[in-house]
Amino acid sequence: MSGSTDRRASSGGTTVHEAVESYLRYKINADGSKTTMRSPLCEFADHCRDERDLELVEDLSPHDVRSYSEHLYDRVVIDEDLAASTAHNYFAYVRAFLSWSVREQHLESNPANTNTAMDPLPEDDGKRKRQYWSAEDRETLLEYATKRVDMALEETIRTDVEAAFRDRAIVVMLDGTGARGAELFADPKDDKRNGLRWKNVDFDERLIEVYGKSREYEQAPFPASVHDVLKRWYRVQEPTTEAWPVFPTGHYGSKKRTLEDALGEKAVSRALEGRGDAGKTEVLDRLHREHEVPPPSISKEGVRQLLKRLTDEAGINPDGEYDYLTLHGARRALGRDLYTSGMSEKAQEALRHNSIETTHEAYADVKMKDVSDSIDDVRS
């Protein structure tokens, strides 16, 4: 990426971060608007720097803005932690900022006013899709994940035993930690998000260290229920190195490519050709262990497909817009349970929100429901 390195090394111009601060300070008058726009605009500036190796406003192109649109699409469709309408609002903030940058002569034209930049944005049907795992659905999924392990051990289903243990650990981890999917699983578009590793799991302190939304490492606690399942999974998996992913992929092509990068294509081909009665996947797994080459982590999309399958197999029919239990629905449910129990600060800590206001905003619908119920109680 030599071009992007040149863009980062340039000097003498205005950086995207500097321009964002000037825009908020001198152009946006209302304090409420500044607060609303600051987070998405700073996220855009961070994205330019971290994902595009771009520092200066003058170097922004439609493809850089498109990359941010793709990021918003992933948050809506894969991470499911953002409404499509909010993604469009965030993009509108960026477009307005870039229009101001044109007027300030930082740019010749607005790179956001192009089909290239806008095409990846998710379709906004006007509906706010928000899911919480209900108590009943949550229990059903957890019970089924455990039953599936038993069936795999008894060989009454075709699912591999190790995969069943891994899948149960995924469900329990999502349910009990409040961690985001991007913090636990790989994101092919982000080299820094390669999935949780065993070296980042502290069983004694019951903590995991994750690469957070802030793009800094953060600690997230997990309860005893997660500890027991995760410890069992560790013993079943028997990782050969602490750099091993907690949740490795089962995708043949991904494992093969990783081994070819580490050992060379010829070495992998020879091992596969001389495998005898062993299956191809079995050979790859053996190579990973013999040479201590960690396999890739399962991706966010892989877990999304897994949850769709488990939801269907468990006979769960969730309420709301989604027909399966989503990754972010688990995080929201944990926060909701803490929030509605009068522990808003604990919810903030568990979800690692920067401020209590963010937590209040996240559960505004829950709060309004509580207010309406209180009115009914008073008037009844």
For residue 126, being part of any structural domain is answered with: no
Average pLDDT, rounded, for the chain: 89
Same domain, 140 and 108: no
The per-residue pLDDT for range 310-348, each reduced to its tens digit, is 999 999 999 877 899 999 899 989 999 998 888 989 988
Q: Which CATH number belongs to the domain containing residue 24 in this structure?
A: 1.10.150
Residue 39 pLDDT: 87
The domain total for the chain is: 2
Same domain, 99 and 164: no
Same domain, 168 and 309: yes
For residue 351, being part of any structural domain is answered with: no
User: How big is the chain, counted in residues?
Assistant: 380
Residue 3 pLDDT: 40
What would the 3-class secondary structure string for 233-277 be? Answer: HHHHHCCCCCCCECCECCCHHHHHHHHHHHHCHHHHHHHHHCCCC
Q: Contact, 304 vs 171, CB < 8 A?
A: no
Residue 126 pLDDT: 64
> Where among 84, 118, 152 does a domain terminate?
118
Query: Tell me, what DSSP letter sits at residue 186?
Result: B
Same domain, 82 and 195: no
Same domain, 20 and 52: yes
pTM higher than the cut 0.85: no
The per-residue pLDDT for range 248-273, each reduced to its tens digit, is 999 999 999 999 999 999 999 999 99
Q: For residues 378 and 51, which has the higher predicted lDDT (pLDDT)?
A: 51
> In degrees rounded to 5, what are phi and psi of residue 342?
85, 15
Same domain, 198 and 306: yes
Using the predicted structure, report yes or no on whether residue 82 has a pLDDT greater than 70: yes
What number of other Cβ atoms are within 10 A of residue 352's Cβ?
A: 18
Alpha carbon 146 to its chain's center: 24
The per-residue pLDDT for range 228-255, each reduced to its tens digit, is 999 999 999 999 999 999 999 999 999 9
Using the predicted structure, report yes or no on whether residue 6 has a pLDDT greater than 80: no
> In degrees rounded to 5, what are phi and psi of residue 354?
-65, -30
Average pLDDT estimate for 205-224: 91
To which residue do tokens 């050992």 refer? 263
Same domain, 108 and 199: no
Q: Which of 47-56, 93-102, 248-257, 345-354 has the lowest mean pLDDT?
A: 345-354
Q: Which two tokens stand for residue 344?
A: 């808003």
Same domain, 14 and 105: yes
d(CA 115, CA 260): 38
Give residue 218's domain range: 135-251+296-313
- Residue 368: pLDDT band by 50, 70, 90 thresholds? low
d(CA 230, CA 93): 42
For residue 104, being part of any structural domain is answered with: yes
- Residue 377: pLDDT band by 50, 70, 90 thresholds? low
> Where among 118, 152, 181 does a domain terminate?
118
For residue 9, being part of any structural domain is answered with: yes
Q: For residues 212 and 65, which has the higher predicted lDDT (pLDDT)?
A: 65
Using the predicted structure, report yes or no on whether residue 22 has a pLDDT greater than 70: yes
Using the predicted structure, report yes or no on whether residue 97 has a pLDDT greater than 60: yes
Q: Which of 8-12, 41-45, 296-300, 328-332 has the lowest mean pLDDT?
A: 8-12
Residue 373 pLDDT: 56
d(CA 33, CA 37): 6
